[in-house]
């Protein structure tokens, strides 16, 4: 399914809603069959785009869903579930998927009863690198039960594995104020 339909930008919805409002106003004014057809077409197009948007997941939407699932797994301090969303080809500063699964970050999460959240998946921070690779940028926060917080801006590179699933291939962590313009700033304990 084309991304334009499975993940339409807001301007598509605004244009279709505008068309429904205009054709609806014209129909309300004249109330005849001639003006009912354009209203029906506009409503049909709006409904079709909405239906396609809900039924088909774009690569960007899949990546966002998986980042949220990873945040939930991290909050539960469940590295096995977290690793399900990490590609076997994962590499971060020389660490592979197994090193990630046993990293010291899990002990820190457990010790601080941290809650992990991810947000602000801007369309501007999304890049489809190729048919099998994409990059998504977002903010993440680890909130300790004692009140401390660690916030990072993350660029996650996803790769389409042989089973057809998008999984994280690598990540970069940055100071949120710098938005990835300077050197990396990984969280403590991360491999």
pLDDT per residue as tens digits for the range 51-65: 999 999 999 999 999
Last residue of a domain, one of 14, 29, 55: 55
Same domain (yes/no): 157, 96: yes
**Residues contacting residue 120 through CB under 8 Å, at least 6 positions apart:** 138, 139
Same domain (yes/no): 83, 154: yes
Same domain (yes/no): 110, 133: yes
Query: How far is it, in rounded angstroms, from Cα 99 to Cα 101?
Result: 5
Residue at 179 is within a domain: no
Same domain (yes/no): 64, 48: no
Residue at 35 is within a domain: yes
Residue at 187 is within a domain: no
Residue at 189 is within a domain: no
Residue numbers of the domain that contains 37: 3-55
The label of the residue with tokens 């700033």 reads: 185
Residue 81: CATH number of its domain:
3.10.450.50
Q: How confident is the model at residue 190, as a pLDDT?
A: 83
Q: Calculate the alpha carbon distances from 113 to 34, 72, 169 in Å.
A: 64, 13, 27
Residue at 157 is within a domain: yes
What does the pLDDT look like over 143-191, one tens digit per residue?
A: 998 888 999 999 999 999 999 999 999 999 998 876 556 778 888 888 8
């Amino acid at each position: 399914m084309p991304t334009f339909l499975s993940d339409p930008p807001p301007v598509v919805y605004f244009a279709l809603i505008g068309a429904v409002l205009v054709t609806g106003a014209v129909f309300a004014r004249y109330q005849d069959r001639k003006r009912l057809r354009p209203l029906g077409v506009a409503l049909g197009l709006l409904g079709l785009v909405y239906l396609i948007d809900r039924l088909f997941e774009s690569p960007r939407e899949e990546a966002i869903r998986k980042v949220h699932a990873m945040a939930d797994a991290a909050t539960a301090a469940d590295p096995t579930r977290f690793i399900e969303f990490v590609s076997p080809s994962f590499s971060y500063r020389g660490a592979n998927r197994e090193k990630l699964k046993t990293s010291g970050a899990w002990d820190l999460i457990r010790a601080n009863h941290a809650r992990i959240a991810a947000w602000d998946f801007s369309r501007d921070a999304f890049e489809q690198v190729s048919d099998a690779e994409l990059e998504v940028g977002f903010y993440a926060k680890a909130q300790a039960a004692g009140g401390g917080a660690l916030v990072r801006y993350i660029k996650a590179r996803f790769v389409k594995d042989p089973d057809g699933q998008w999984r994280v291939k690598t990540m970069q962590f940055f100071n949120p104020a710098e938005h990835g313009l300077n050197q990396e700033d990984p969280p403590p304990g991360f491999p």
